[in-house]
Amino acid sequence: MTQKKTATPKKRPGRSSHHTHREGRCMDLLRRLSGYIDDELPSDICREIRRHLGACPNCEVLIVSLRQTVTLCRHRPTPQLTPVDRMNMRRAILTAANAR
């Protein structure tokens, strides 16, 4: 079986290999990732996210991986769940929600 090559972010000239995370900056990006990938955010916020991605290799790798995952999921058929699967899933969600 052959393995697919995964896209990796390209190194940009002049970009520091050391990134100092500002308090909460990466977490702020994580909260907005879905809207960013789905192109649902205002352009000023998208520019801010792209600036952060240019300075943060960890977040850049994360977003490349997430985009690949979303693409794969969109091209796969949705599995049919049995009533037992639905019940187990509902139970797991309620248990997780109550644990908070």
94 found inside a domain: yes
Residue-wise pLDDT tens digits, 39-91: 899 999 999 999 998 899 999 998 899 889 988 988 888 888 999 999 999 99
Range of the domain at 70: 25-99
Instruction: Identify the CATH number of the domain in which residue 86 sits.
Output: 1.10.10
pTM strictly above 0.85: no
Number of domains in the chain: 1
48 found inside a domain: yes
Q: H helices within the chain, ranges in order?
A: 25-37, 43-55, 57-74, 83-99
9 found inside a domain: no
Residue-wise pLDDT tens digits, 11-48: 444 444 445 555 578 888 888 888 888 889 999 999 99
79 found inside a domain: yes
